């Protein structure tokens, strides 16, 4: 079921800054925020740090790009291969 909600312009601007990519929906952003605040994570300091990271658009974009690189390319090396290549 789809519902419409009203948000003010300032909140919309903040949500826009949290987007991983331009076409990400507000639903996806809100789900990500809600999931990060699940009941297991009631520790205020941990929650505060999570919100801080989620609120930093540059960090979130960097994380999204890194995950995309890992999932869509051969830019990564397995731990075992890295050890062999470096004689560890």
Look at residue 75 in the predicted model and tell me its pLDDT: 65
> Is 55 in contact with 11 (CB distance < 8 Å)?
no
* C-alpha–C-alpha distance, residues 86 and 88, integer Å: 6
Look at residue 9 in the predicted model and tell me its pLDDT: 92
Look at residue 81 in the predicted model and tell me its pLDDT: 86
pLDDT in tens, the chain (88 residues): 888 889 899 889 999 988 988 888 999 998 888 877 765 556 777 777 888 888 888 888 888 888 887 777 776 778 888 888 888 8
* C-alpha–C-alpha distance, residues 19 and 27, integer Å: 11
Half-sphere exposure of 22 (CA within 13 A, CB side): 0
């Amino acid at each position: 079921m789809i519902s419409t909600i009203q948000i003010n312009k300032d909140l919309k601007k903040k949500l826009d800054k949290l987007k991983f990519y331009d076409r990400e929906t507000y639903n996806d952003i809100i789900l990500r925020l809600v999931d990060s605040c699940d009941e297991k994570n009631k520790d205020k300091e941990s929650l505060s740090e999570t919100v801080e990271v989620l609120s930093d658009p540059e960090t979130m974009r960097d994380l999204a790009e890194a995950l995309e690189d890992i999932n869509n390319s051969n830019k990564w090396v397995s731990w075992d291969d890295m050890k062999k290549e470096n004689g560890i």
